[in-house]
Amino acid sequence: MDPRTRASLLWGAAGALTFLVLAQTTRLFGPIELGMGLPKLLPIALAVFAVSAWLGYVVERRLAQNRQV
């Protein structure tokens, strides 16, 4: 696997896990109730994974073209 692809997938995983941690923290300690359980949060986390992985790939490519990586 290409190192750039692996790095973007890791950024995606970090983004999705961060979203899930923040959602669970809000459910535990927040003054508001989200009204969503984990099954409803998983598709959102999957979308966060896809967007952050795509952005990581695009940004790294752009920085490489400008020779800043």
Q: Where are the domains of the chain?
A: 3-65
pLDDT category of residue 10 using cuts at 50, 70 and 90 = very high
Count CB atoms within 10 A of the CB of residue 52.
Answer: 21
The alpha carbon of 33 is separated from its chain's Cα centroid by a whole number of angstroms, namely: 22
Q: What is the pLDDT of residue 63?
A: 83
**Helices assigned H by DSSP within the chain:** 3-29, 38-65
Q: What is the pLDDT of residue 34?
A: 73
* Four-residue CA torsion sign, 34, 39, 44, 46: positive
Q: What is the pLDDT of residue 7?
A: 93
Q: Which residue has the higher pLDDT, 31 or 29?
A: 29
pLDDT (tens digit per residue) in 30-51: 877 778 888 899 999 999 999 9
State the Cα–Cα distance between residues 51 and 11, nearest whole angstrom.
10
Residue pair 39/13 in contact (Cβ under 8 Å)? The answer is no
